[in-house]
Structure 1
Amino acid sequence: MARNLATPTEAELGGPRSVLVMQRRDHQRLDRLLQRVAATAGAERQETLTALCRLVFPHAFAEEAVLWPLLRRVLPDGHELTLRVEQEHQEINELFTELETTEPDTPAYEELLERITALLRADVRDEEDILLPRLQQVAGVGTLRRVGLAWMVVRRTAPTRPHPVVARRPPGNSLAALPLSPLDRSRDRLDQLSRRAPGRIARGCGRVSRALAATAGVVEHLPPLRRGEDPSTRA
């Protein structure tokens, strides 16, 4: 049995539809994006950070909604294992939220980026070296592929921006996805349009995007969206 996910072939991990293979692909793409963030500046770096967010947050949401509940059911120490990763996810959400309001290319901004990069890399190591190999030990190929399908569906419909207020566990995070996913994805389209449109249209897109952001900020504070979370996640 593989000790981590770094070296096994796709076949050894259950094939291309296995959740282990899907997770590793996302982690490989994450590594490439982090390298690009470190090597770029200005508008190119901002575009790379946008792509990073669109990868990180749906990926983490799918883990929290699909994978970690499964691990808590099938592993005697599943609660402790997943809690550590949920705490990392919470900190990543908080740091990205702070980054959004920090002036780019300042020492404070660079420090936040360094902390985010280190935390994302630590999160990958915890998952590939500990959690996912443990899942492979207790789940057959059929289960890995069924979970992979559920993970992929959730990932493709999940929120795409940081929401540090909502729960990192069901049912709160599942409830949060219903309003926050369309709000986030509408903002993504508006922001993309504003970068390409002439000035007046771009300003209009920006105003609508900010209004949607304010709506999301109100929604994520609704009490039901905090249900299910372990209190120590925010310690």
Structure 2
Amino acid sequence: MMDRWSAGDATDAERDALWQDIVQLVFSHAFAEETVLWPVLRRTAPDGEELTGQVEEEHQAINELIARVEKAPGDPRRAEWIQQAFTLIRQDIRDEEDELLPRLREAFDDRALRRIGAAWEAVRATAPTHPHPGVPRRPPGNALLGVPLSVFDRLRDLAPGTGPRARRVSLTLTGAAAAAGAVVLLVRSARRRTCA
């Protein structure tokens, strides 16, 4: 998808759609890694802290760059920033495939890797899909903030188009989801007090 975006043979609308698909894939993928894979690697590899710290720095740089792209849709530097993001993403992929994932392979048998992979996939399927540079890169902070951000992002992804109207629709849907979540929490809290 990055190659197709860079080739320049797609229409502006196709390139925008490609970009949105890339952003959604990158952020859900990275969130799942940070929530599931890297904590496991830190516990099992003697140099896991150093390895995951480097990848988390790469993720943060990607996060900040893509946030800049999303906040400035009309900026003439947008294409340059996107290419910089692609370079960082490719480097991140290399580091993970060449360094981190082989360490997990060495530490676990196939059955354990399948369990870790299933947990990764479950988190990825429900992860935020847009940049949030202020969110911590490690659990529990990323997981606690990731849930409401995921709801917000996925509702935003459903809102057609961009611009003020789409943002209003997204914020309205997010507010409704947050209100529903608050009601559920209040009901559970009331039940616990009644049972206690």
TM-score by length of 2: 0.82
User: Alpha carbon RMSD of aligned pairs, Å?
Assistant: 2.1
User: Quick one: distance in 2 between partners of 1:91 and 1:99?
Assistant: 13
Unaligned runs of 5+ in 2: 176-196
**1:50 equivalent in structure 2:** 20
Structure 1 vs Structure 2: percent identity of aligned residues?
50
**Structure 1 or 2: larger helix share?**
2
Query: How has the CA–CA distance of structure 1 residues 211 and 95 changed in structure 2, closer, same or farther, with 3 Å as cutoff?
Result: farther
Cα deviation, 1:157-188, whole Å, max 9, x if unaligned, reads 11111000010000100101121111110111
* TM, length-normalised to structure 1: 0.69
Residue 71 of structure 2 corresponds to: 101
CA distance in 2, matches of 1:135, 1:120: 21
Letter matched to residue 84 of structure 2: R
- Structure 1 residue aligned with 2:44: 74
Match of 1:38 in 2: 6
- Match 2:146 to one of 177, 198, 201: 177
SS at 2:159 equivalent: helix
Query: Which position in structure 2 is the counterpart of 1:14?
Result: none
1:117 and 2:78 aligned? no
5+ long unaligned stretches in structure 1: 1-32, 196-201, 215-235
Task: State the shift of 1:53 in Å.
Answer: 1.1
CA distance in 2, matches of 1:165, 1:157: 19
Cα drift, residue 206 of structure 1: 4.0
Larger radius of gyration between Structure 1 and Structure 2: 2
For residues 101 and 29 of structure 2, what CA distance do their matches in structure 1 show?
A: 14
| Off by >3 Å, runs of 4+ in structure 1 | 202-206, 210-214
Report the alpha carbon displacement of residue 143 of structure 1 after superposing the two structures with TM. 0.8
CA contact (8 A) 2:126 2:150 kept: yes
